[in-house]
Chain A
Amino acid sequence: MQLLIQCCVLWFVSPEGIEALCNDVNVNHTDVRMLIFAWKMKAEKQGYFSKDEWRRGLKCLGADTRPKLKKAIEGLDKELKVPECFEDFYSYAFQYCLTEEKQRSVDIETICELLNIVLKSEFPNQVNLLVEYLKVGKQLFKLIYVQNDYRALNMDQWRSFYRFFKEVDFHDLENYDSSQAWTVIIDNFVEWLKEKEKN
């Protein structure tokens, strides 16, 4: 542990530090495993790890030497196999993107990237469709819902995506009930999917 901490120049591992770390363990900083690592650490601020967070992360991974850390990070994606863990991680991923103090929502671009990072492996098809909808539908809905153009989404909406993918079969959209407690954006997404299928 001592060895690794000495590796960090600052107590706050900064973006440069993280980049160095990524190079060391040979994992891209946009890789989902870095995000999982941040989650393990319960890192609060994007791009920075505090000393406590760093310690926590290393302890979780059981790594006290550089090679051990590299190995641990490489294997991090297996951590998400447990559904409860995944839900927690999934919410965390959104939280991590909130950079400003009173920020409640994240812009569409980042959402799309995040979806790709976090959900693509499990739901490749669905993620592609949703991303397409968010990017294209944004234009369309500006016309119809004057008040509701989706420039940014909040935590509640983010959470509903994962639940939706888990619970609803895309081939069986006829049974989807929009009077249920799904978020309005999901209702609109389903409408768009149905239209798409017709054409």
Chain B
Amino acid sequence: MVLHKFGEKLYSGLVATMTGHLKEIAKSVEAAQGAEFYRVESQKFIECCDCGDYLKKAERRLNEEIDRVSHYLDPRTEKKITNVVEKEMIENHMLRLIHMENSGLVHMFSDDKYDDLGRMYNLFRRVPDGLSKIREVMTEHIKETGKQLVNDPERLKDPVEFVQRLLDEKDKYDKIINFAFNNDKSFQNALNSSFEYFINLNPRSPEFISLFVDDKLRKGLKGVSEDDVEVTLDKVMMLFRYLQEKDVFEKYYKQHLAKRLLSGKTVSDDAERSLIVKLKTECGYQFTSKLEGMFTDMKTSQDTMQGFYASHPELVDGPTLTVQVLTTGSWPTQSSVTCNLPAEMSALCEKFRSYYLGTHTGRRLSWQTNMGTADLKATFGKGQKHELNVSTYQMCVLMLFNNADRLSYKEIEQATEIPASDLKRCLQSLALVKGRNVLRKEPMSKDVGEDDAFFVNDKFSSKLYKVKIGTVVAQKESEPEKQETRQRVEEDRKPQIEAAIVRIMKSRKQLDHNNLIAEVTKQLQSRFLANPTEVKKRIESLIERDFLERDENDRKLYRDPDVVSLKTRCCFFIVICITIRTNVVGCEEVLTCASNLQSIVGDSNILPFYLEQGIANTIGCLQREGCLLRGEHNLLGEAFLVMASVAGIQQQQEVLAWLLEPLSQEWTHSEWQDKYLSEPYGLVYLFSEAQVMWSSFHSVTFFDKALNRSGIKKANWNPENSSTPDSTPINPILIKYFVLSGSCSYFPATSHYTLSLVSICTSNFTWRDPSCNDHE
């Protein structure tokens, strides 16, 4: 009877439990069977399928299972079941699939099999370590192919082709990661690090990338739309980012840019500028300041030429001279070369020189005859007329033939004084190149010998009226040139390493060896990879010069000696600035001067170089970057003034002018003036704002000292007597300076002083400033 009553419940309960159990058993059996089933199947497939097919099969099986579960199994079992498939079909065979001959991962990469790759990615991401295995193999593969590419002598013959190949490789993998790997960030990173690895295996990569850019900017981008230009330049920037030796790139880029600018061969000014902006964004102001300086020089030169011809109207009928005045330090260093210009040209050049020096005192000009070009109108024996575009050297040689029919090598050498190797090359290009042989050589041998004789080639003919003979195209460097550039780069790195060490030690006060090396490397990383041995050498050099000291007890610890006076440190920084920015003077000599301010003052020969605009920018830029403390900035300025005072009154004024430049920018601002100087009580506001007050105080103290040193008496200063016509911004500033200096000498100014200050200011000085609307 009990059973009857509870029978239903019991029975249904039993059924439920049994069903549950059965389901469990079914699942496990299914799972177990599944595992066994898939193990067998996968083994069968892997023996007979290639990778792509296998993956297709695996994918199909997986999808089948998922389907099955959704139709008649508990959805919670999906994971369990798919795990089985994943384990048996994928995980157990991962490596075999990847490395399968003729169809594995590497082949998929080579043949751009996006589908297969995508499938592999999707399947492998389901299993632990699946993706990392793919990534590993991809990285290895890219590194290997990259390594072969950069070491292949055939490929390296044509730098432009070489870089194009690099870009193509990058494009290829970008596509793969995009289409097949779901734009996975970790794969992007792996790609980047692989590229970085192999690009830097070849020390000539920076040079080649620069040559690629040169080719594009010279002709490759001709007629290309603006957007496409940007795309190309962005690709170049991407390669640039991989470079470890960015300073080597900078050096070559400067050389190539110089050649492009000077020969007027750039396809698009906008493209050039655009790339410079990109480089600036990537590397900071320092990197591109000199490059920008080059563009500025080109523009300024145009204006100068206009001014020259405007003031010498009588020269319009003679040969046309176009001069580019290059600021030393912005342009690649060139040794000065001897060359005798033909009489007509040298007279003209002298006129230009006096014109230029008349408007820019304190500068030195030297003609760079190895970089110029000339257009000559020539009439040959049979009356053929041509216009020849030649280099300056070639012009000098050809003009000699106006006065002689036959000239021996020795006569040419004597008359032109061109250095032998350059002369030989020059004569070769004039006499031995088919289609451009305006000269004839006897004997007709292949090379130019010292006993050869030259004649005008009366039989010269060319289909073109204008014949181009001179070549100033950027080329891959020869072995000795490469060595020279490399040496210069190494030399330039030394002061940068030293500046980094001093800067770090100044802020940390003491640091152990390994950490110092690590910090220095980090600081310099955006320019180049610092060699630890070289850093060690620099450390020792700094110890010797007392910029650093080793701890007495712990020889692994370095200390910034307080003993190093601010002045000495300042000299050090001047010298570093100068060496880094101008590359003019030899690094070693200048650095030995750093420990002794006297030495710098004594050597006033160096001074004219330092008075170029670039230095002011450098100091300004260093200050903006926070590398110079205000005290140091003032001492730098003071040091320059000291140097200037040795050199002469004109240099002094020039130095004062550019020292005042940043200040004048601040103080001529109408807001500043309105706020502080438009009425006597403005001064009260000035003193109440601590920061402005201190800043003005320092500036004013500095100029006080500066002017005292220069011997200009305050009371006698008459703005209308100032000598240089373009110094108008200075005058109002100096006047206001006097007001402030009078007030600031009562420092610290508290409120009950301010009124007395104000009355003193207004009584002592009158505002004699015609260019300004201020009033007393």
Q: Which residues of A contact B (CB under 8 A)?
A: 104-105, 147-148, 154, 156-157, 159-160, 163, 178-181, 183-184, 187
Q: How far is the CA of A187 from the CA of B537 in the complex (A)?
A: 11
Whether B533 contacts A187 by the Cβ 8 Å rule is yes
Task: Assess whether B536 is interfacial by the CB under 8 Å rule.
Answer: yes
Give the residue name and chain of the B residue nearest to A87 (CB): B552
Give the residue name and chain of the A residue nearest to B588 (CB): A147
Contacts of A179 in B (CB 8 A): 514, 517, 532
Task: Assess whether B451 is interfacial by the CB under 8 Å rule.
Answer: no
Known: A156-B540, A159-B555, A183-B536; 9 extra A-B contacts, CB below 8 A, are A147-B588, A154-B543, A154-B544, A156-B543, A163-B555, A179-B532, A181-B514, A181-B550, A184-B537
Q: How far is the CA of A104 from the CA of B541 in the complex (A)?
A: 11
* Given known contacts A163-B555, A187-B533, A181 and B513 CB-to-CB distance under 8 angstroms: yes
Contacts of A147 in B (CB 8 A): 588
| Interface hub of A104, A163, A183, A187 (most chain B Cβ within 10 A) | A183
Whether B540 contacts A183 by the Cβ 8 Å rule is yes
CB distance from B100 to the nearest CB of A (A): 43
Contacts of A160 in B (CB 8 A): 555
Binary contact readout B587-614 vs A (1 if CB under 8 angstroms, 0 otherwise): 0100000000000000000000000000
CB distance from A106 to the nearest CB of B (A): 12
Binary contact readout B301-328 vs A (1 if CB under 8 angstroms, 0 otherwise): 0000000000000000000000000000
Whether A157 contacts B540 by the Cβ 8 Å rule is yes
Q: How far is the CA of A104 from the CA of B517 in the complex (A)?
A: 25
Q: How far is the CA of A181 from the CA of B513 in the complex (A)?
A: 6
Whether A104 contacts B544 by the Cβ 8 Å rule is yes
Q: How far is the CA of A104 from the CA of B545 in the complex (A)?
A: 9
| Interface hub of A160, A178, A179 (most chain B Cβ within 10 A) | A179
Some 21 contacts from A to B, beta carbons below 8 A apart, are A105-B544, A147-B588, A154-B543, A156-B540, A156-B544, A156-B550, A159-B550, A159-B555, A163-B555, A178-B533, A179-B514, A179-B517, A179-B532, A180-B514, A180-B556, A181-B512, A181-B514, A181-B550, A181-B555, A184-B536, A187-B536
Binary contact readout B509-520 vs A (1 if CB under 8 angstroms, 0 otherwise): 000111001000
| Interface hub of A147, A163, A178, A187 (most chain B Cβ within 10 A) | A147
Q: How far is the CA of A40 from the CA of B588 in the complex (A)?
A: 39
Contacts of A187 in B (CB 8 A): 533, 536
CB distance from B589 to the nearest CB of A (A): 13
User: B residues 724-764 with Cβ under 8 Å of A?
Assistant: none
* Given known contacts A160-B555, A187-B533, A180 and B550 CB-to-CB distance under 8 angstroms: no
Whether A181 contacts B556 by the Cβ 8 Å rule is yes
Q: How far is the CA of A170 from the CA of B540 in the complex (A)?
A: 24
Q: How far is the CA of A183 from the CA of B536 in the complex (A)?
A: 7
Q: Which residues of B contact A (CB under 8 A)?
A: 512-514, 517, 532-533, 536-537, 540, 543-544, 550, 555-556, 588
Q: How far is the CA of A17 from the CA of B537 in the complex (A)?
A: 43
Give the residue name and chain of the A residue nearest to B544 (CB): A154
Contacts of B588 in A (CB 8 A): 147
| Interface hub of B513, B537, B556 (most chain A Cβ within 10 A) | B537
Q: How far is the CA of A128 from the CA of B720 in the complex (A)?
A: 77
Give the residue name and chain of the A residue nearest to B552 (CB): A87
Contacts of B513 in A (CB 8 A): 180-181
| Interface hub of A160, A184, A187 (most chain B Cβ within 10 A) | A184
Contacts of B514 in A (CB 8 A): 179-181
Q: How far is the CA of A163 from the CA of B540 in the complex (A)?
A: 16
Closest 4 CB pairs of A and B: A181-B513, A181-B556, A154-B544, A156-B543
CB distance from B766 to the nearest CB of A (A): 52
Give the residue name and chain of the A residue nearest to B512 (CB): A181
Q: How far is the CA of A180 from the CA of B588 in the complex (A)?
A: 26
Contacts of A104 in B (CB 8 A): 544
Q: How far is the CA of A174 from the CA of B403 in the complex (A)?
A: 75
Q: How far is the CA of A163 from the CA of B553 in the complex (A)?
A: 11
Give the residue name and chain of the A residue nearest to B550 (CB): A156
Give the residue name and chain of the B residue nearest to A185 (CB): B540
Give the residue name and chain of the B residue nearest to A91 (CB): B552
Q: How far is the CA of A77 from the CA of B536 in the complex (A)?
A: 36
Whether A184 contacts B540 by the Cβ 8 Å rule is yes
Q: How far is the CA of A159 from the CA of B550 in the complex (A)?
A: 11
| Interface hub of B532, B550, B555 (most chain A Cβ within 10 A) | B555
CB distance from B374 to the nearest CB of A (A): 40
CB distance from B488 to the nearest CB of A (A): 13
Give the residue name and chain of the B residue nearest to A157 (CB): B540
Give the residue name and chain of the B residue nearest to A104 (CB): B544
Give the residue name and chain of the A residue nearest to B487 (CB): A146
Contacts of B532 in A (CB 8 A): 179
Q: How far is the CA of A160 from the CA of B555 in the complex (A)?
A: 9
Give the residue name and chain of the A residue nearest to B546 (CB): A104
Contacts of A181 in B (CB 8 A): 512-514, 550, 555-556
CB distance from A151 to the nearest CB of B (A): 14
Q: How far is the CA of A160 from the CA of B543 in the complex (A)?
A: 13
Q: How far is the CA of A129 from the CA of B588 in the complex (A)?
A: 32
CB distance from A174 to the nearest CB of B (A): 19
Q: How far is the CA of A179 from the CA of B513 in the complex (A)?
A: 9
Q: How far is the CA of A147 from the CA of B517 in the complex (A)?
A: 21
Q: How far is the CA of A187 from the CA of B513 in the complex (A)?
A: 15
Contacts of B544 in A (CB 8 A): 104-105, 154, 156
Q: How far is the CA of A180 from the CA of B550 in the complex (A)?
A: 13
CB distance from A114 to the nearest CB of B (A): 18
Q: How far is the CA of A180 from the CA of B536 in the complex (A)?
A: 10
Whether A148 contacts B556 by the Cβ 8 Å rule is no
Q: How far is the CA of A163 from the CA of B533 in the complex (A)?
A: 20
Q: How far is the CA of A124 from the CA of B536 in the complex (A)?
A: 29
Q: How far is the CA of A184 from the CA of B9 in the complex (A)?
A: 92
Contacts of B517 in A (CB 8 A): 179
* Given known contacts A156-B543, A179-B514, A184 and B533 CB-to-CB distance under 8 angstroms: yes
Q: How far is the CA of A105 from the CA of B556 in the complex (A)?
A: 22
Contacts of B512 in A (CB 8 A): 181
Contacts of B537 in A (CB 8 A): 148, 184
Q: How far is the CA of A114 from the CA of B341 in the complex (A)?
A: 61
Q: How far is the CA of A105 from the CA of B588 in the complex (A)?
A: 17
Q: How far is the CA of A178 from the CA of B544 in the complex (A)?
A: 20
Q: How far is the CA of A178 from the CA of B517 in the complex (A)?
A: 13
CB distance from B765 to the nearest CB of A (A): 48
CB distance from A23 to the nearest CB of B (A): 39
CB distance from B393 to the nearest CB of A (A): 32
Contacts of A154 in B (CB 8 A): 540, 543-544
CB distance from A184 to the nearest CB of B (A): 5
CB distance from A119 to the nearest CB of B (A): 17
Contacts of A178 in B (CB 8 A): 533
Q: How far is the CA of A148 from the CA of B514 in the complex (A)?
A: 23
Q: How far is the CA of A145 from the CA of B22 in the complex (A)?
A: 83
Q: How far is the CA of A154 from the CA of B513 in the complex (A)?
A: 19
Q: How far is the CA of A148 from the CA of B536 in the complex (A)?
A: 13
Contacts of B555 in A (CB 8 A): 159-160, 163, 181
Contacts of A180 in B (CB 8 A): 513-514, 556
CB distance from A105 to the nearest CB of B (A): 7
Give the residue name and chain of the B residue nearest to A163 (CB): B555
CB distance from A145 to the nearest CB of B (A): 9
CB distance from B498 to the nearest CB of A (A): 14
Give the residue name and chain of the A residue nearest to B557 (CB): A181
Give the residue name and chain of the B residue nearest to A181 (CB): B513
CB distance from A24 to the nearest CB of B (A): 37
CB distance from A147 to the nearest CB of B (A): 8
Q: How far is the CA of A154 from the CA of B588 in the complex (A)?
A: 17
Q: How far is the CA of A179 from the CA of B539 in the complex (A)?
A: 13
Give the residue name and chain of the A residue nearest to B548 (CB): A156
CB distance from A194 to the nearest CB of B (A): 16
CB distance from A175 to the nearest CB of B (A): 16
Q: How far is the CA of A183 from the CA of B513 in the complex (A)?
A: 11
| Interface hub of A104, A148, A163, A181 (most chain B Cβ within 10 A) | A181
Q: How far is the CA of A98 from the CA of B514 in the complex (A)?
A: 32
Contacts of A183 in B (CB 8 A): 536, 540
Give the residue name and chain of the B residue nearest to A167 (CB): B555
Contacts of B540 in A (CB 8 A): 154, 156-157, 183-184
